[in-house]
Amino acid sequence: MAGICEGRVAVITGAGRGIGREHALMLAGQGARIVVNDLGGSMDGTGQGEGPAHDVVAEIEAMGGQAVANGDDVSDFEGAERLIGQAIDTFGGLDILVNNAGILRDRMLTNMSEAEWDAVIKVHLKGTFGPTRHAAAYWRERAKAGEANDARVINTSSASGIYGNVGQTNYGAAKAGIAAFTIIASQELGRYGVTVNAIAPAALTRMTEGLGMGQATEELKEQMSPRWIAPIVTWLASPESSAVTGRVFDVSGRALSVAEGWHIGPSVDPSDDPAELGPLVAELMEKARPNADMSGRDATR
């Protein structure tokens, strides 16, 4: 029986390990042809190597699938262009872009260096923009030529970005930016037959092993396995998801949820006198829901 992504062409960034590897294997298992992108660097973004991407390609080929490796830096605009071009040149088109590449350089704000801020913002935020920008240009030109697209962009946000997490102002800011990017890009690219969604995954990978997950129980380790993330990405990559766009999905082995973005809360009549605002703000705070905790739920409940 054909898979739900049979014949589709996918680019997956950061696909040499962890969550990205699971995406690549499952999409290939569902019939997609894959460009496995991975710079092969360390968790903090330093260094590079061809091994991880080629290893995943070998796994896909052993399954009977089709894949090629790519070692471009997706945070480099020209590298991102080469990546998208490789998919088109190798497989004759592009249907799916999964922006998954990322690094961590966690630090409390008072100690964070400029380099730690810049590196994380560049890989996550620019590394999402670049491939999407070049893929979108390809799909727009096809649409202008009268060709139909049924294309997908799937970005990777995080609970740290949409709910907040101490020690991750750089990472959280980038991931919040990706969530906003997802919503706006979905509004812009729908006219070309492209949906844009995001996931906010929770999984035990080399990026999270330093966050205390190494002491987790076997049950929790299973719930936090990266294998739980790939199914929703694979479904979003398929033709079945054409009616879903501009959404962020929380996903782990515990639950699949849709995150609800910012909504305007309680309101009062404004005042142009700052001395009068104290009681007004107090009224708003009394009525407003508190911010969510890292689980996405009301922290006071």
Decide if 175 is catalytic: yes
Identify the active-site residue in 138, 157, 160, 171: 171
Q: CB count, 10 Å around CB of 39?
A: 27
How far apart are the C-alpha atoms of 200 and 231, rounded to whole Å? 13
**In this structure, are residues 203 and 254 in contact, taking their beta carbons and an 8 Å threshold?**
no
Q: Which token pair is 38?
A: 């991975």
Round to whole Å and give the CA distance between 26 and 72. Answer: 22
User: What's the CA gap between 39 and 42, in Å, rounded?
Assistant: 9
Q: Is 144 a catalytic residue?
A: no
Q: How many CA atoms lie within 13 A of 298 on its CB side?
A: 5
Instruction: Please confirm, yes or no, whether 138 is among the known catalytic residues.
Output: no
Catalytic residue among 175, 192, 241, 252: 175
Which of these is catalytic: 75, 157, 158, 160?
158
Which run of H or of E encompasses 9? strand 9-12
Structure tokens at 221: 């380790």
CB atoms within 10 A of CB 210: 11
At position 145, the amino acid (one-letter code) is A
Q: Name the nearest CA neighbour of 198 among 152, 150, 165, 243.
A: 152
User: What's the Rg (C-alpha) of the chain?
Assistant: 20
| Residues catalogued as catalytic | 158, 171, 175
